[in-house]
Amino acid sequence: MALLAAAIVLLIILFLVWETLPILQSIGLARFFNDSSWHPTSEEFNLLPMLWGTLLVTVGAVLIATPLGIASAIFCHYYAPRAIANLYRRLVELLAGIPSVVYGFWGLVVLVPIIGRIRPPGASLLAGILILTLMILPTITLVADASLTSVPPEYLRGCAAMGLGRWATVHGVVLPAASSGLLTGVILGTGRAIGETMAVLMVCGNVVQTPKNVFEPVRTLTANIALEMAYATGHHRAALFVSGLVLMVIVFVLVIAAELLNRGRIYV
């Protein structure tokens, strides 16, 4: 099974390279970062604004969702009464199960008009960040919850024996002990945020530009593929595969970074 999964990943990468090779050979990789803009039908292929879009939306969502997610896991574990904690966990699990298109639809008809009242047009980087925060929050919370559960009980008893307060226990012992699991949760959340397409497509505005503030619309690499694939031919279509390849490279770098960080932690 594992071998099959690995083979499929390799096949997908091979397929992407195969589809992008002709355009990379004929116009070169540099054009994807140096062209003046993204107008594939008139042979302009700058991907940088969309790369920024993907990175900003993802980083924004992860920055908001990480403290919230870890805080709510800590709340569940060490502060909330059992009944409330269980109810809360069920709700977060439910949140994790909502399909992305539902988040997107809700964002489009509720969130975007609200933001639009503050600063038009509403469909913006901010809307994307908020929707993605909602989407990755359950991932981070649930993984954090699981890693808090796996903190050995003797640590907690040791803390109690030393007369440490609740916050001192959490802050001084539990968080360092669970840090590897918490980090994994954040990485998984980041992966989900980078790859999210439908919800982001619906709320981000999709204008190809490098945003100057959070109220400006952006287009992500994933949204770019989904928006234009149906009608693209020739070089335009190949350029969309380059978007996919760039996305793949980002995820690859992320996985390697996570691996290195985690390795460091285990031996420290």
Partner 1 sequence: MKNLRILAPLSIGAATCLLLQSCSKPPSAANQSANTPQGKLVLTGSSTVAPLASEIGKRYEAEHPGVRVDVQTGGSSRGIADARQRVADIGMVSRSLKGTEKDLQAFTIAKDGISVIINSDNPVKSLNARQIVDIYTDKINNWKQVGGLDAPITVVNKAEGRSTLELFSEHFKLKTEDIKPDVVIGDNEQGIKTVAGNPNAVGYVSIGSGEYAATHQTPIKLLPVAGVAASITNVSNGTFPISRPLNLVTNKSPTGLTKDFIDFARSQQAQDVVKEQYFVPVSQ
Q: Pick the stretch among 11-19, 47-55, 61-69, 78-86 that binds partner 1 (CB under 8 A).
A: 11-19
Report the nearest approach of partner 1 to the CB of residue 165 (Å): 26
With CB under 8 A as the contact rule, the residue among 20, 23, 32, 40 that binds partner 1 is 40
Residues 52-111 that bind partner 1 (CB under 8 A): 108-109
With CB under 8 A as the contact rule, the residue among 6, 39, 99, 252 that binds partner 1 is 39
Q: Which is nearer to partner 1, 66 or 147 (CB)?
A: 147
123 binds partner 1 (CB under 8 A): yes
CA–CA separation, 206 and 208 (whole Å): 6
Q: Which is nearer to partner 1, 91 or 93 (CB)?
A: 93
CA–CA separation, 123 and 103 (whole Å): 14
- Residue 133 contacts by C-beta under 8 Å, 6 or more apart in sequence? 60, 61, 64, 65, 68
Number of chain positions touching partner 1 (CB under 8 A) = 52
Report the nearest approach of partner 1 to the CB of residue 179 (Å): 12
Q: Which is nearer to partner 1, 115 or 159 (CB)?
A: 115
With CB under 8 A as the contact rule, the residue among 134, 201, 245, 250 that binds partner 1 is 201
With CB under 8 A as the contact rule, the residue among 173, 188, 214, 261 that binds partner 1 is 188
Report the nearest approach of partner 1 to the CB of residue 208 (Å): 8
Residue keyed to tokens 């499929």 = 8
> Are 250 and 54 spatial neighbours (Cβ–Cβ below 8 Å)?
yes
Cβ atoms < 10 Å from Cβ of 115:
20
Q: Pick the stretch among 56-64, 76-84, 85-93, 231-239 that binds partner 1 (CB under 8 A).
A: 231-239
**Residues interacting with partner 1, by CB under 8 A?**
9, 12, 15-16, 37-42, 44, 108-109, 112-113, 116, 120-123, 139, 142-143, 146-147, 149-150, 180-181, 184, 188, 191, 195, 201-202, 205-208, 217, 219, 226-233, 236, 244, 251
